[in-house]
Amino acid sequence: MDALNDVAVFVQVVNRGSFTAAADTLGLSKSVVSKYVTRLEDRLGARLLNRTTRRLNLTEVGRAFFERSQRGLLEIEEAEAEVSRLQGEPRGELRLSSPMSFGILHLAPLLPAFQARYPELSVDMVLDDRKVDLVDEGFDLAIRIGELPDSSLVARRLGPCRHVVCGSPEYFARHGVPQSPEELAQHAALTYRYASSPNEWRFLGADGNYRQVAINSRLQMNSSLALREALLNGAGVTLTPTFVVGADILAGRLKAVLQGYQALEVSIYAVYPQRKHLSPKICAFVDFLGEAIKDPPHWEPG
């Protein structure tokens, strides 16, 4: 930092035309100002100023150094002003990672209202069911659903993510409605590839005991939205989040079954790297999601 201070004092001396005037501007003594300039010349190994009792003259080397130094100091001032401006209001670009189905169904519809609230902030949302590395891949934050492993990331819970077993009314009319988790073995199951145990579903009964059942997976996909389309067309039953099928259950296009048994329930989180000074754009988006996603969320069927 001494080097930068020396340069700043040197530029001030040249701009003010004397050591005395520069000292008055900087609130320093003339001897201290002279010391800064002398130290700078010693470090550079070059004379920057020719000093006389009446005036100062830049040497040829000094003029070249002054011009570049003055531009550099102005760049630093502008950079500091930009940081202050960005810290005051959410601006710039927010890079966001989200699971595919949640991003399409619930984040994309919210973005117009968010950007209307913060018109100087743009959003780059990447939809991917894999867990991205926020730091290495340059994301500001990510939406994660499920149990979070220990990490250096900061997590804010946005709401619950409940799962239900469901299928189309037409499918159940043909194959019957399962009355217990064990009866699922008699049905065509659709499974999500990235589930922790896609071929075993776990339920909590009214008696407080857990029951884990093996299911007959007839169709496995890596997209919850694709599974939903197969469900709507009578392909079978699945265990899926209510944020994917809640609207369909409310509209009667799908039917939830085994409601006397509690299926998987996890949480929805916004996660972001731990930072001493959190960017206003991250704060603004996380707070906005907190307002939009209630507990229970609007997509819950009853």
| C-alpha to C-alpha distance for 237 and 252, rounded to whole angstroms | 15
CATH class of residue range 2-88:
mainly alpha
| C-alpha to C-alpha distance for 139 and 270, rounded to whole angstroms | 12
- The closest alpha carbon to 265, from 149, 157, 162, 144, belongs to 162
| C-alpha to C-alpha distance for 217 and 219, rounded to whole angstroms | 6
Q: Are the C-beta atoms of 228 and 243 separated by less than 8 Å?
A: no
Q: Two tokens at 240? A: 């899926």
pLDDT the model gives residue 132: 87
Q: What percent of the chain has pLDDT over 90?
A: 65
Mean pLDDT of the chain: 90
Residues of the chain with CATH 1.10.10.10: 2-88
CA dihedral 52, 57, 60, 61 (to 10 degrees): 80
pLDDT the model gives residue 141: 95
pLDDT the model gives residue 290: 92
DSSP string, 97-161: EE-HHHIIIIITTTHHHHHHH-TTEEEEEEE-SS---TTTTT-SEEEEESPPPS-SEEEEEEEEE
92-160+266-292 under CATH 3.30.43.10, yes or no: no
pLDDT the model gives residue 240: 95
pLDDT the model gives residue 81: 60
Categorize the per-residue pLDDT at 276 as very low, low, confident or very high, splitting at 50, 70 and 90.
Answer: low
DSSP string, 30-74: HHHHHHHHHHHHHHHTS--EEE-SS-EEE-HHHHHHHHHHHHHHH
| C-alpha to C-alpha distance for 165 and 143, rounded to whole angstroms | 24
pLDDT at position 112 over 60: yes
Q: Write the pLDDT tens digit of every residue in 188-214.
A: 999 998 888 888 999 988 788 888 999
Residues of the chain with CATH 3.40.190.10: 92-160+266-292, 161-265
pLDDT the model gives residue 295: 83
pLDDT the model gives residue 54: 73
Q: Write the pLDDT tens digit of every residue in 128-176.
A: 988 888 887 889 999 999 888 767 789 999 999 999 999 999 999 999 9
Q: Write the pLDDT tens digit of every residue in 202-250.
A: 998 878 888 899 998 989 999 999 999 999 999 999 999 999 999 999 9
pLDDT the model gives residue 233: 97
pLDDT at position 82 over 80: no
- Per CATH, the homologous superfamily of domain 161-265 is Periplasmic binding protein-like II (3.40.190.10)
pLDDT at position 178 over 80: yes
More confident residue, 84 or 285: 285
Whether this model's pTM surpasses 0.85: no
